[in-house]
Structure 1
């Protein structure tokens, strides 16, 4: 993946990394591993997401954990048109929205946004441009 980090001063920082997706728990969940080895933190990321579908809510329970940065998030994800939108709170108490857009069989664009309250506008913090490198 190629990553663009949007900094508070309006500049950006570009890095690369990798993502591994797979079915786990006998096909009952999807787990992904995100690796962005650039230092210093917070550009470094070693985290995992567990996504479990809940038919009662018509969506996914999402649990993110990055023990390297002590960053944790719980979200609910649902399809919205051709996109997947996940919304919840992060470990700093901020509202977090993760959007998977431009989804194809071989790529997607992931947009990470945050805001401090429901009345604040969403601010883009990260973008990941992922592409499949092997079947």
Structure 2
């Protein structure tokens, strides 16, 4: 994957990385692993997400954890048209919106946004452009 980090001053940083997705817990959940190696922290990332579907809310309970950077987030994810949108809060107390867009069988565009209150507008912080390299 290619990562774009949007900094507060309007500049961007770019890195490459890897992500892996698979069914776990006998098909009851999806786990993904995100890796951005060989960068000075906090740009280095080794994290995992567990996504568990809940038919009562017609959505997914999502738990993200990056132990290296002591970053975690809880969200609820649902389909919105052709996209998947996850809403929640991170370990700093900021509201988060993570969107999977432009989803195909071999690629997706992930957009990470945050805001400090309901009255603030969403600010893009990260983007991941992922593509399948192995079937």
On whether the aligned pair clears a TM of 0.5, the verdict is: yes
Query: 5+ unaligned residues in a row in structure 2: which ranges?
Result: none
Q: What does residue 15 of structure 1 align with? A: 15
Q: What does residue 2 of structure 2 align with? A: 2
Alignment length, in residue pairs?
135
1:56-75 matches, within 5 Å, as: 56-75=56-75
Q: What does residue 25 of structure 1 align with? A: 25
Q: State the superposition RMSD in angstroms.
A: 0.5
Tell me how far apart the structure 1 counterparts of residues 125 and 80 of structure 2 sit (CA, whole Å).
21
Q: What does residue 55 of structure 1 align with? A: 55
Tell me how far apart the structure 1 counterparts of residues 9 and 85 of structure 2 sit (CA, whole Å).
26
Structure 1 length normalisation: TM-score? 0.99
Quick check: 1:115–1:122 contact (8 Å CA) kept in 2?
yes
Tell me how far apart the structure 1 counterparts of residues 85 and 131 of structure 2 sit (CA, whole Å).
19
Tell me how far apart the structure 2 counterparts of residues 88 and 38 of structure 1 sit (CA, whole Å).
29
Report how far residue 72 of structure 1 moved.
0.3
Query: 5+ unaligned residues in a row in structure 1: which ranges?
Result: none
Report how far residue 111 of structure 1 moved.
0.1
Q: What does residue 43 of structure 1 align with? A: 43
Runs of 4+ aligned residues of structure 1 deviating over 6 Å after TM superposition are none
Q: Deviations over 1:81-125 (max 9, x none)?
A: 000000000000000000000000000000000000011000000
Q: Deviations over 1:36-65 (max 9, x none)?
A: 014222211000000000000000000000
